[in-house]
Structure 1
């Protein structure tokens, strides 16, 4: 299989169907295929050779979609940059990957001088925005217009499809190498469950397209020949308008986006009835938020996906039926392409119901980390990829994620998993968002500390929070201290950056755990 295969199939079967909708621009499958072939020819003209890395730093758009297809069409390798990173972090990923060509839009064009200075290997920049083309760059549209179409290289199979850098929350980010086969196996396995996507769907790209969560949706939609609707970035009102205007049927959202949508004061003013499927993941979702979302989108089947970049990215899915059956605390069961075990620190599988580290095996497991064989060997020591997530399998094979292994709080000799505490806290009517971390404590080693964001006009006290939490989980798991914040730091994938929250409590420790 190869990444461009779905485009060829769609052109053969319904060339005049709508493939992309982005603002006022609407393009058919045949038009996109011609543009992609010409864009690939333009990349060849810029000196792109087989296996060269071509990066993009841009908001969501139809041109981002064309980049994802044109790069493998030209026999090159994708490198989508994290739009939330600083120029220094982005420059690191470009230098580390040896990127030679960079696509950049209007939002990130101001970074170009700094990136050019920091990345001497960068020999060409393609401007994919709508504004004036920056100096020493070539315009996306001009490159297409000036280039002849080239045949698809059909780069595929075990060949490298892309380097996808991890969040970089600790030390330097790692470049995850995914092959075309990795991505195809993950997409086909998810499609094979029947839980996600369907022919004729209209898929909304509201989550950032650089991230594997949205890319999974993009790839599944590409395989089925559906329509892609793009908005530049997630905004609750823009998302609701796009759903209403274009009769969107599916989307991939992270939990913080779902919460912002269902709690928005204008949600009742938009017709969201076209939505038939919402896949969520990237971080846990609180049960009360999910229950509110199911009321806002009553016709939608909700599917939870568990996985990670290193798994291309899907390992388990929780079906719509499982949501209705009350399994909301589970991450679902292994998809057809994925085998899962839960291991102890020695790598031995533990009994059902016992918490250990989740390990995954299958054709979706990454090729490895770019230029990092030691970390690759440590992560995949025996064919089983160690996820770093703590969890357990129940008697029916449902996976329950309790926390990151490294983030487990040990207080008074008891293990506390922050996700469980966060789920209890989220049920409090005053709390809009929360994060639980372990902080140093003279008596307990670590204590459970909650960082809370309250709804406007509401307040909470520590005593109130402890009483509320202890009514739902064990007393020793209740927060001993709380902190009220205006917002929580988020990664580009919508994950809460707990390392940032810990810094003020662990100023002299890199480990941040006892």
Structure 2
């Protein structure tokens, strides 16, 4: 199977059904099926041959979904860029994967023009309403002026997309996912009852994010409808649910909290919303209680995973958020292995540990990535004998439920976004006042975890937390920057090998917590 299989199936069995809703545009699967082969031809006309990388930097739109399909139809590779990254970070990703084409919308047209000046031979495509800016090809013109081409019919082992994630070395790395990886995950989700053909799914989470992508690929197979808003706002979600009778959406816990705590919620008709799937972290009991009260007809299901797993590894179904499951504390866990996945807890020697003991969570299945783009050594460390090492510390109970309790990798998850501490430390270390620094995650009721810096200043030099935070924002994406900092002239605690003991730095913040991460 490949990414375009769902479109070919939809054209056979539900061609006249609603495929996408975006602003004032409503298209059937037949219309999508007419546009995608023409767009694929347009990409080829710009010089994108099979295997070439086509990047996109854009807010959510129906054109984004079409591009996911058209790149596969053309036999090319999609590279969704992070809209929250700085231009320098996205330039690094474009150079790393050697993308030939960059698709931008109005919000990122200026950024695209800047990137094109920095990267020779990068072709720009404008995917928005109105006339394309100078130096850019019009997305709609590519669709209208080109005759449709035949589906490249990529096979399961072919590369479908490169999805950039933070790096433990300080540079982002590209996760290579094949057509087979993406379809395995989509089928696993469908087999678990998520995103069936009856879904009217709301794309509120960013479409560059593979969490949202997982739902999209399942919907491409099942033929459900895609309602798309440019970006998440509580008001935007409420308006879309009411207007389009949305029945399923994927959100992170922070978004759920913002939605159910919004004062206007009661004035919208949310009765159609039957399912909320969430990820990135377990939901707090307080937010779950408020959400259940505000949306009594809605069921909550947690998906745990990572980009390298296409991305789902385990599911905590709605039944375990209530009744006997909640009484057993399962709502605090990450669920059980999804269809098609095997999950183990292993010690540092990769030997399985007994149920109840803490070790690293590892996952095996057809959804495990091909590897990191042009980083064979990092791939070999991450995937051992087919088992993806998640970097999460966890335990498994006697019923197979997984509980994430710590992180082996030095990573923070804030508001659903991964932040690798070393990226932030590398930025802070460039400030002339900083002699030594460590970045840790501390609890935050809204974001789950908050990026916190512990900084040692050089002798006789003073700096404020506000100055350090502002400085870091000039180098890295805003969500990666510290929100707080402790500053002193006392050395950081070190191990006998000279390694900073971050566990000691984190301990005061996580006292009396059931786990050391959110």
TM-score, normalisation: structure 1: 0.82
Give the drift of 1:285: 2.3
- 1:272 is matched with which residue: 270, 273, 279? 270
* SS state at 2:147 partner: coil
* SS state at 1:65 partner: helix
Does residue 257 in structure 1 map to residue 255 in structure 2? Answer: yes
Give the distance between the partners of 1:501 and 1:390, measured in 2 at CA. Answer: 25
Aligned to 1:361: 364
**C-alpha spacing 1:406/1:68, structure 2 compared with 1 (3 Å):** closer
* SS state at 1:103 partner: strand
Q: Which is further off, 28-37 or 277-286?
A: 277-286
Aligned to 2:449: 435
Contact 2:452 2:482 in 1 (8 A): no
* SS state at 1:155 partner: coil
Give the distance between the partners of 1:267 and 1:38, measured in 2 at CA. Answer: 41
**C-alpha spacing 1:386/1:228, structure 2 compared with 1 (3 Å):** same
* SS state at 2:113 partner: helix
Aligned to 1:40: 40
Give the drift of 1:439: 7.3
Give the distance between the partners of 2:233 and 2:142, measured in 1 at CA. Answer: 31
Counterparts in 2 of 1:355-434, with a 5 A limit? 355-406=358-409, 422=443, 426=445, 432-433=446-447
Give the drift of 1:198: 2.2
Give the distance between the partners of 1:61 and 1:127, measured in 2 at CA. Answer: 13
Counterparts in 2 of 1:91-490, with a 5 A limit? 91-122=91-122, 124-167=123-166, 171-194=170-193, 196-324=194-322, 325-326=325-326, 327-406=330-409, 422=443, 426=445, 432-433=446-447, 435=449
Give the distance between the partners of 1:171 and 1:248, measured in 2 at CA. Answer: 40
**C-alpha spacing 1:121/1:290, structure 2 compared with 1 (3 Å):** farther
* SS state at 1:107 partner: helix
Give the drift of 1:320: 1.1
Give the distance between the partners of 1:307 and 1:64, measured in 2 at CA. Answer: 23
Q: Where does the alignment leave 5 or more consecutive residues of structure 2 unmatched?
A: 413-439, 457-464, 493-498, 505-518
Contact 2:189 2:195 in 1 (8 A): no
Q: Which is further off, 238-247 or 169-178?
A: 169-178
* SS state at 1:117 partner: helix
Give the distance between the partners of 2:228 and 2:76, measured in 1 at CA. Answer: 24
Could you list the per-position Cα deviations for residues 115-137 of structure 1 after superposition, in whole angstroms to 9, with x for gaps in the alignment?
01222241x21100124311111
**C-alpha spacing 1:512/1:299, structure 2 compared with 1 (3 Å):** same
Q: Where does the alignment leave 5 or more consecutive residues of structure 1 unmatched?
A: 410-417, 427-431, 443-450, 452-484
Contact 2:454 2:486 in 1 (8 A): no
Give the distance between the partners of 1:436 and 1:75, measured in 2 at CA. Answer: 40
Q: Which is further off, 72-81 or 9-18?
A: 9-18
Aligned to 2:430: none
**C-alpha spacing 1:16/1:167, structure 2 compared with 1 (3 Å):** same
Give the distance between the partners of 1:66 and 1:512, measured in 2 at CA. Answer: 47
TM-score, normalisation: structure 2: 0.81
Could you list the per-position Cα deviations for residues 322-346 of structure 1 after superposition, in whole angstroms to 9, with x for gaps in the alignment?
1112021010000111111111122
The number of equivalent residue pairs is 448
Could you list the per-position Cα deviations for residues 413-468 of structure 1 after superposition, in whole angstroms to 9, with x for gaps in the alignment?
xxxxx99x84xx74xxxxx55636787699xxxxxxxx9xxxxxxxxxxxxxxxxx
Contact 2:455 2:487 in 1 (8 A): no
Could you list the per-position Cα deviations for residues 348-387 of structure 1 after superposition, in whole angstroms to 9, with x for gaps in the alignment?
2111111111111111100000010010011113221110
Q: Which is further off, 226-235 or 6-15?
A: 6-15
Contact 2:162 2:175 in 1 (8 A): yes
Contact 1:502 1:512 in 2 (8 A): no
* SS state at 1:233 partner: coil
* SS state at 2:384 partner: coil
Contact 1:197 1:277 in 2 (8 A): no
Give the drift of 1:220: 1.0
Contact 1:280 1:305 in 2 (8 A): yes
Give the distance between the partners of 1:184 and 1:112, measured in 2 at CA. Answer: 31
Q: CA RMSD in A?
A: 2.8
* SS state at 1:182 partner: helix
**C-alpha spacing 1:151/1:512, structure 2 compared with 1 (3 Å):** farther
Give the distance between the partners of 1:181 and 1:215, measured in 2 at CA. Answer: 15
